[in-house]
Amino acid sequence: MWRRSDTPAWRRCEDLAAAYLRRQGYAILARNARFGHCEIDIIAREGDTVAFVEVRSRTTEDAVAPEDSIGPQKQRRLRAAARMYLARHEEPDTYYRFDVVAITMASNRKPVITLYRDAF
């Protein structure tokens, strides 16, 4: 069951996503990393690949699925932020991709978490 707390909903969702990614074998490198005008929710490594992860959550009543809510402008910003991260960390030839963790929340039920590897 989803419990209420003083923690903002976005933070709870990011915590759920990070824990889920760890269970999937990802190593979390950074959270809420800001580059210019964009923030990357989670930067993680899975094997030899760096994953830039966007966390999206919705309730079951929302018209748009969480994974469908990342528009072209947001994708451009995330790509630019990823390039800045790779340049700062001197990893120009690293394999990387953009993943999405979609969390659908329904009252009185556990959140449903879905991972989309290489989402865009």
pLDDT digits (tens, 9 = 90+) for 17-46: 999 999 999 999 999 999 988 899 999 999
pLDDT at 1: 46
Whether the predicted pLDDT of 105 surpasses 90: no
- 78: buried, middle or exposed (CB in 10 Å: 19+, 13-18, 0-12)? buried
Residue 76 burial (CB count, 10 A): 11
Q: Which two tokens stand for residue 95?
A: 């394999």
24-31, long-range: CB < 8 A, 24+ apart = 24/115, 26/51
Q: Are 58 and 72 in contact (CB under 8 A)?
A: no
Give the domains, in start order, of the chain with CATH numbers: 9-116 (3.40.1350.10)
Question: Apex CA 59: angle with CA 56 and CA 62, to 5°?
Answer: 95
Largest CA-CA distance found in the chain, in angstroms, rounded: 46
